[in-house]
Amino acid sequence: MTPHAFRRTVATEIDEFYDAEAASTQLGHTSKAVTERHDISRKLVVPDYRAATERLAPGARSGHALPPAT
């Protein structure tokens, strides 16, 4: 882990627990815009497509192994 990666991790965690303003203060930035642009990692949010993909293995539950093929 690099110092910058650790800095981003800290900023992201503070942002999620408090807000970007708190992360900005912790990092010593003059504005939260700088922190948001350079140090806060945003999670990728995508629609839930499980219903479509679960059709590929009818009867299987998510997170469970499929029975061996016979």
pLDDT exceeds 80 at position 15: yes
Instruction: Give the long-range contacts of residues 48-54, CB within 8 A, separation 24 or more.
Output: none
pLDDT exceeds 60 at position 63: no
Give the CA dihedral 59, 62, 64, 65, nearest 10 degrees: 70
Quick one: tokens of 65?
Answer: 């192994």
pLDDT exceeds 70 at position 66: no
> Does the predicted model carry a pTM greater than 0.75?
no
Q: Across residues 3-21, what is the average pLDDT?
A: 94
- Cβ atoms 20, 31 nearer than 8 A: no
Among 35-39, 40-44, 64-68, which stretch is predicted with the lowest mean pLDDT? 64-68
Dihedral of CA 11/16/19/20: which sign? positive
Residue at 65: amino acid letter? A
| pLDDT for residue 29 | 94
